[in-house]
A and B are shown apart, each in its own frame.
Chain A
Amino acid sequence: ETGVTQTPRHLVMGMTNKKSLKCEQHLGHNAMYWYKQSAKKPLELMFVYNFKEQTENNSVPSRFSPECPNSSHLFLHLHTLQPEDSALYLCASSLTGVNQPQHFGDGTRLSIL
């Protein structure tokens, strides 16, 4: 599915680096989401944006900083990450409203050294 594109696909960084993950959706959706997927754990919702406004921060540490400049683009800025932050980070989008299914990108595989 190419409606939601994430870059980069893989990222290796040291704990003191600063990097950003990018997500772009071409589905005409107005809600965007960041999830963390770790081995043997359910997907964890991190952030939700509706019409560019952040509507959910699921107790995510401040070393993760989201940015949503418009309804089609979503960023996750990373700074001073910890080894336990290594995971697959998935972006999703949907139409606004209850019961709207979310469509996912292929994720960024993040490894913290």
Chain B
Amino acid sequence: GQQLNQSPQSMFIQEGEDVSMNCTSSSIFNTWLWYKQDPGEGPVLLIALYKAGELTSNGRLTAQFGITRKDSFLNISASIPSDVGIYFCAGGSAGGTSYGKLTFGQGTILTVHP
């Protein structure tokens, strides 16, 4: 089956620093999604990418759909304490279905020290 390698697994940074995480795969995806999960809550969609090479921002967050369609990265600029959480990438593909299937990365645990 399809697999995503998300790195790093965890990050410990100081408030104000920039953050970068990425996902890679041996498979091609049609969509890349980035989610954040806070403790005790479900994943919340941050950014959705639909075209190879697409670069999209959402406030301090910027994500890119890799040109090969096999990777994506997420950058967070000027981190703040509320950025703490687990960040997941997800690759979407048709997979022979009409609804699309998401394959999730293992997650990046972000800790921000004030």
Spell out A's residues near B (CB within 8 Å). 1, 4, 6, 31, 40-43, 45, 48, 50, 55-56, 90, 92, 94, 96-107
Residue of B43, B44, B107 with most partner-chain A CB within 10 A: B43
- Neighbouring A residues of B103 by C-beta, 8 Å: 42
- Neighbouring B residues of A102 by C-beta, 8 Å: 33, 45, 102
Q: Does B92 contact A (CB under 8 A)?
A: yes
The answer on a CB contact under 8 Å between B44 and A101 is: no
Q: Does B110 contact A (CB under 8 A)?
A: no
Q: Does B4 contact A (CB under 8 A)?
A: yes
The answer on a CB contact under 8 Å between B92 and A41 is: no
Q: Does B106 contact A (CB under 8 A)?
A: yes
Spell out B's residues near A (CB within 8 Å). 4, 30-31, 33, 35, 40-45, 48, 50, 88, 92-94, 97-107
A42 contact from B33, B50, B99, B106, Cβ within 8 A:
B106
Tell me the minimal C-beta distance from B98 to chain A in angstroms: 7
Knowing that A90-B43, A98-B98 touch, tell me 9 more A-B residue pairs with CB under 8 angstroms: A1-B44, A4-B42, A6-B42, A42-B88, A48-B97, A50-B99, A98-B92, A99-B92, A106-B40
The answer on a CB contact under 8 Å between A90 and B99 is: no
Chain B residue at minimum C-beta to C-beta distance from A99: B31
Chain B residue at minimum C-beta to C-beta distance from A109: B40
The answer on a CB contact under 8 Å between A97 and B101 is: no
A103 vs B98: C-alpha distance when bound (angstroms): 18
Tell me the minimal C-beta distance from B49 to chain A in angstroms: 10
The answer on a CB contact under 8 Å between B42 and A94 is: no
A56 vs B32: C-alpha distance when bound (angstroms): 21
